[in-house]
Amino acid sequence: MNRWGWGLLVVVLACLPILARRSTSPALLRDTDTSELLKAVRLRHSPLSWFLGDWPLQNHFYRPVVAISFEVDSAVYGDRAAGYGLTNSLLCVGCLLALFWFCAELTGSLSLSLIAAFVFALWNIDSGAVVAPGAAWASGGIASMGLIRHGLRVRHWLPASLCLAFLSYELGGIAALSFRMSWWLPGRTASLMALFALISLASYARLERIGPDRMPPREPTATDLPATRTSGAPSQATGREWLWALLSLACLALALASYEQAVVLPVALLGVGLLFQLGGHRIRWPWHAASWALLLLYLAIRKLVLPAGVSGYQLQQFRHGVTVAWSIARYVFPASFDARDLLFGGLSGALLLSLEPLRQAWAVSANVVAYLQIRRRLWVGLCAYALSVGSFLPMAWLKPFEHYHYLPMAFRALFVAVLAAVCFDLSVTAVSPRARQAPPRPSPAPGSLLRP
């Protein structure tokens, strides 16, 4: 077994806690939304009919694939709640495996792929806060070691300490996922969509990675790393790359038919393509045109088969104003709340007597420095960051539910993996001994031939 096989085995083991925490309670089926869903699918008992109209809750959403998943569960499990809970947990497991595949195709790095999968597995069981203190303690340890090694030359150790502090904050996660994704059956709208979305992105990344069309390689420079057995040669084309494109488009269509958040996928596919373009690949524009055509077809079908106007539920869920801005800010600049409190409340008399302003200033500084240091792995980090922010944007104008964050947090896990790699690089510099100036070389050097 090669190293990728061992990596996949590690990810499979990381899936076991998700399955172990699945719910078997009969209360799963007593939830209001779930009971109405099951009542509707059993009354109609026509799976394909969901493609021609509203989904079972009749609140003007087009989600035929999710409705069919409840049809299947109803036929297989009846009123056995444990089976429905198993389906929800298996969907989360599938998303974790698909994220590992996507990261592997996008980055070609086993370490980044494993870290991203591990972080997302922790978030699926609400355990990110378990490992977050480790990064916080590492931040303090790096600062102490840096002072010993480099003294007041803070440029050698302060960036590492600040980045680790920001990593600790990011590891905590944006939202608690386990209840909505595993223990609330309608939460499978988000996990089913995320599964198809990640497979679509991974398939497209595979298409570009093994494609035969590459830009002419540039001349190597003195700063380029030498090619190795595993990093130098690109994957070989097989002549059947179009199968990956078809799989990507099929999963895109299924994602759109699962949850409205999937409308961001054509943009996400474009972002992945541009990343490969920067890596020397010639991206295939016709497949991107096909993805946008699928989105337009989806919008046309929605307009055709769904009732006109918005439903009462949609009116109830829409929001606007400053709360939308703060929800987006949590993704764009996580320390924005600390920056706000520091700006408007940090100078009050009560706070000046506490350490809270110092903590807020440290958090803001950590966020800024981490974003500046991410340039060490700029394009992959920027891609993961943009995918995370962009996939949340359609949901920012709705009253918050945790499952809105599922796909964005999958992308955020890759961003956290890139941040962890940057922290490692900076930490090595921080704990290394101080550089010493070599003594001047005599001229002529001892033992050299005398010049005439």
Determine the pLDDT at residue 36.
94
User: In this predicted structure, which of 260-264, 428-432, 441-445 has the lowest mean pLDDT?
Assistant: 441-445
* C-alpha to C-alpha distance for 298 and 190, rounded to whole angstroms: 18
Phi-psi region of 213 (alpha: psi -120 to 50; beta: other; left: phi over 0): beta
pLDDT surpasses 60 at 236:
no
Q: What is the pLDDT of residues 110-158, one digit of tens each?
A: 999 999 999 999 999 999 989 999 999 999 999 998 888 888 888 889 9
Tokens 């079972």, residue located: 56
Determine the pLDDT at residue 232.
43
Give DSSP secondary structure letters for 82-95.
Answer: HHHHHHHHHHHHHH
* 213: confidence class by pLDDT, cuts 50, 70, 90: low
Non-local (6+) Cβ contacts of 109 within 8 A are 103
Q: What is the pLDDT of residues 280-328, one digit of tens each?
A: 888 889 999 999 999 999 999 999 999 988 888 888 999 988 999 999 9
pTM: 0.90
* 200: confidence class by pLDDT, cuts 50, 70, 90: very high
Q: What is the pLDDT of residues 385-414, one digit of tens each?
A: 999 999 999 999 999 999 999 999 999 999
Q: In the predicted model, what is the mean pLDDT of residues 228-255? A: 75
Q: What is the pLDDT of residues 347-382, one digit of tens each?
A: 555 555 677 888 899 999 999 999 999 988 899 999
Closest of 248, 249, 219, 214 to residue 233, by C-alpha = 214
Determine the pLDDT at residue 225.
53
Contact 433, 384 (CB under 8 A): no
Non-local (6+) Cβ contacts of 264 within 8 A are 390, 391, 393, 394
Give the HSE-up count for residue 293: Cα atoms under 13 Å, Cβ half-sphere: 8
pLDDT surpasses 60 at 214:
no
Q: In the predicted model, what is the mean pLDDT of residues 423-448? A: 77
Determine the pLDDT at residue 153.
83
